[in-house]
Amino acid sequence: MKDLKSNTLHIPKSSDKELSFRAERGILSFKKRLPRTFQWVAMTNSYRWSWELTIPDFLRFSSKKGFTLLEILVAVAILGIAVTVVLQLFSANLRALSASDDYITAVIKAEAKMREILDNENISEQSYSETTYDGYRMDVFITDTLKERTENLNVSLLEIDLITSWVKGSKTRSITLKTLKVIEKKVGQ
């Protein structure tokens, strides 16, 4: 039997020395084929061999061993990196939500203003600007377009450009809405 502490091999004495020599040679050749991380024990009982694999020392739980300072530092560093990445993802999402909220508000205000312009029966070529109570600036440009194509017709085509801009932090953001409106020509145009 192999002694685990002294790494020596004990083979039971036999009356036949050659049998003992063959058994020792067989054990040594089998030992070379085993992985180094496993310890093995040879047991004999009337010329039959059985082999047992034992758990390596570095895999055994020992109450005497604890975590080293280096292991703790590496674990804390990995945890810190993971937490930082997760927090950055959350803050990026919050910034994106805030920006989308501003764009949605600007689009709603621009669409309301565009409906107001399109509902006006006395619309004509003009440009003007106005600012809402919450800081959105709206620039309206109404121009007569495709005059050559509508010259012989009883209608006129107006292009309406509505630029809505606002300041968020230090950046100025804006959206532009464009549409066309067909109006009847007045007598004398």
Say yes or no to pLDDT of 171 above 70.
yes
For the chain, state the CA radius of gyration: 44
Q: Which two tokens stand for residue 57?
A: 């020392």
The whole-model pTM stands at 0.51
pLDDT tens track for 128-163: 999 989 889 999 999 988 888 878 888 888 999 999
Q: End-to-end alpha-carbon separation of the chain, Å?
A: 117
Report the pLDDT value the prediction gives residue 37, as an integer from 0 to 100: 44
Quote the pLDDT of residue 155: 85
Instruction: Report the side by side order of strands in the sheet with 155-168.
Output: 126-131, 137-145, 155-168, 171-184
Residues 160, 141: contact at Cβ < 8 Å? yes
87-103 per-position pLDDT tens digit: 988 888 888 888 888 89
